[in-house]
Chains A and B, each alone.
Chain A
């Protein structure tokens, strides 16, 4: 098992180097160098330009610059934002819990609805229930989520007035940030109604973000379930006289879940993609919103650092999923 873990972990090193190369290249591929961008419209006299280029180390060979960059990254120095003058890493770490909270609830929603829906569709194959689940999930899968989010706002916030339109909690609550997760912080603050407010702010963004993973999980569960239900051991279990629900939920589901878990792990990248759009629409103060602002205001250290961090997270999660897969399925481990 340990060799498997080490071998699998070693594989991500080249990928990680590639990501740092990409992030490094990003700054150098952007038209105009950082000094030029700093000087603005007025321009800059050549002597000062030379001095600044030297100061930033931009006059050195690219390979040296890359080595310096990697050294800084490994020390946790991702530069400072051009707009807020805060270190990029600390900005990211302040905002990341908001994205985790949103993504986590989106995923919980997707699993809690997608899994049973997929099982139902598989058991009631070629019935109205099956067609309904598959139709809805194909629609969800094809949904432009920024539009879906707007429809949710139009209906639940504007028409019915059930949920707030944006933010994480109503302004009247001043919840001290300890974990960065608003639901926990608001509970711990002890203020009446704070938790309720935080929860009502979370519902719509979580639905919007969870829709595509939900559709993917439902489809995957259905096809995986259908495959497993055809297996001989399922028939054997039925023939032994075990109750139907027990065969489905214990014997079949356990094996059907293996590909589903992989798919769930793979949704992390999708969730972070979706978070960019969802956070923009709901003014959710997370990393997606922050990145888009960075791109729009040409805050390159933020874009560079953000891409590096998000990619590292996705790589790490994929690694964890792979390792878990090895735990669940010994055939992978010994391949």
Chain B
């Protein structure tokens, strides 16, 4: 209420000041800034993968199999991070892997966010049997360890990158449903919702236009953290041979494909894992930063 009153007095600056306030809170944490910078770099790398990578990701240079990275004595500047067992350039495959991983994160988080928000709104708005059915189903899904649930879904759909994304979307779903429902329950009793209803807004408008925007903060945080679990789970599925299939340059399946060479050529194993770690770390840093910036309880 107080904020609204202030905004009325100085209307044009409202949007900008909300952003500035958010940015001030977010940029206080060095970790959050590092996370943001890393994520931006990864997105650029993914967008321009074709331009940036020195070689095509699936081109096999048969004379250069298992070439060590450039800083080794036997390495060459042509293959900066070395080559894999069939002579493909590690760096190019890792760069194209960035594109895949971010895409996996984006698609699975989007699917489960859209579905989860819809189910959560339904459960929180209509209550009763709808709520019980939806929430019990989510409880069942939460009872299974995430990777096991993903494996069960892949067992039904069959292995592959697309099915892995569906599996991960299903695994992430209960978190969004619960968050949305809880937020809706908290918001639905407030005065602005009642006044909107009296003004004649129907249930769809009330759910999506009136209530939803006020539940956005926890969902944004959860979506960011969802990216990191999606990328991690996709890599685990790829590693187990249930996700992306060779020769797709996906980090987890790259790791699995190089396992037998771990003693002779450690770089084929270390770099893909490092790529996963850095990406997941970046999203976690960003998610933590967003939570601290958006969580009103921690604001001073």
Give the contacts of B238-283 with A (CB-CB under 8 A). Answer: 239-242, 252, 255, 259, 262-263, 266, 269-270, 272-273, 276-277, 280-281
A145 to chain B, nearest CB (A): 8
Across the interface, name the chain B residue whose C-beta is closest to A143: B277
Question: Which A residues lie within 8 Å of B40 (CB)?
Answer: none
* Contact, CB under 8 Å: A315 / B277: no
**What chain A residues lie within 8 Å of B242 (beta carbons)?**
295
B236 and A154 contact, CB distance less than 8 A: no
- Asked if A327 is at the interface (CB within 8 A of a chain B CB), the reply is no
Whether the Cβ atoms of A154 and B147 lie closer than 8 Å is: no
* Chain B contacts for A274, CB-based, 8 A: 147
Complex Cα–Cα for A311 and B2 (A): 48
Tell me, in angstroms, the Cα distance from A147 to B232 when the chains sit together: 11
Inter-chain contact B148/A277, CB cutoff 8 Å: no
Task: Assess whether A142 is interfacial by the CB under 8 Å rule.
Answer: yes
- For chain A, what secondary structure do more than half of its interface residues adopt (helix, strand, loop), or is it mixed? helix
CA of A148 to CA of B151 in the docked complex: distance in angstroms?
A: 21
A141 at the interface (CB under 8 A from B): yes
Given contacts A30-B155, A31-B158, A147-B273, contact A292 B240 (CB under 8 A): yes
Known A18-B139, A277-B236, A295-B155; contact A138-B147, beta-carbon cutoff 8 A = no
A102 interface residue per 8 A CB criterion: no
Residues 134-167 of A contacting B (Cβ, < 8 Å): 138-139, 141-144, 146-148, 150-151, 153-154, 158
Alpha-carbon separation in the docked complex, A138 to B228 (Å): 12
Chain B nearest Cβ from A185, distance in angstroms: 27
Q: Would you call B143 and A19 a contact (CB within 8 A)?
A: yes
- A323 to B276, alpha carbons, bound, how many Å? 38
Contacts of A142 in B (CB 8 A): 228, 232, 277, 280-281, 284
A314 to B144 Cα, complex, angstroms: 7
Q: Is A269 interfacial (CB-CB < 8 Å)?
A: yes
A146 and B277 alpha carbons, distance in the complex (Å) = 11
Residues on the B chain within 8 Å of A147, using CB: 255, 269, 272-273, 276-277
| A29 contacts partner chain B, Cβ-Cβ < 8 Å | yes
Counted as pairs of residues, one from A and one from B, with CB atoms less than 8 Å apart, the total is 126
- Asked whether A29 lies within 8 Å of B156 as measured between CB atoms, the reply is yes
Interface string of A120-145 (1 = CB under 8 A from B): 00000000000000000011011110
Check B145 for interface membership: any CB of A closer than 8 A.
Answer: yes
Give Cα A151–Cα B271 distance, bound, in whole angstroms: 11
Most buried by B among A270, A274, A276: A276
Decide yes or no: A277 and B239 within 8 Å by CB, A139-B277, A307-B148 being known contacts.
yes
Bound form: Cα–Cα A138–B34 in Å: 13
In contact, A295 and B158 (Cβ under 8 angstroms): no
Q: Check: A44 CB closer than 8 A to any chain B CB.
A: no
Q: A280 interface residue, CB < 8 Å from B?
A: yes
Residue count of chain A within 8 Å CB distance of chain B: 44
Name the residue among B139, B158, B276, B280 with the largest chain A CB count within 10 angstroms: B139
**A310 and B145 contacting across the interface, CB-CB below 8 Å:** yes
A272, closest chain B residue (CB): B145
Q: Are A314 and B269 in contact (CB under 8 A)?
A: no
How far, in angstroms, from A274 to B232 measured CA to CA in the complex?
12
> In the complex, which residues of chain A have a beta carbon less than 8 angstroms from the beta carbon of B137?
18
Cβ-defined contact, A291 with B151, below 8 A? yes
User: Which residues of A sit under 8 angstroms from B236, Cβ to Cβ?
Assistant: 144, 146, 277
- Is the pair B144, A307 in contact by a Cβ cutoff of 8 Å? yes
Contact (A150, B262) CB under 8 Å given A138-B285, A318-B143: yes
In Å, the complex CA distance between A269 and B288 comes to 23
Interface check B235, CB cutoff 8 A = yes
Q: Which residues of A contact B140 (CB under 8 A)?
A: 15, 18-19, 21-22, 311
CB of B152 closer than 8 Å to a CB of A? yes
A21 and B139 CA atoms in complex are apart in Å by 13
Min C-beta distance of A308 to chain B, whole Å: 10
Q: Lowest 4 CB-CB distances: which A-B pairs, in order? A: A147-B273, A18-B140, A273-B145, A273-B147
21 contacts between A and B (CB under 8 A): A18-B136, A26-B152, A30-B156, A138-B281, A138-B284, A138-B288, A143-B277, A144-B236, A144-B239, A144-B273, A147-B276, A150-B269, A153-B262, A154-B262, A276-B145, A276-B147, A277-B239, A292-B151, A295-B151, A295-B155, A311-B140
Other than the known A19-B144, A141-B284, what 4 A-B pairs have Cβ atoms closer than 8 Å?
A269-B145, A276-B151, A303-B152, A310-B144
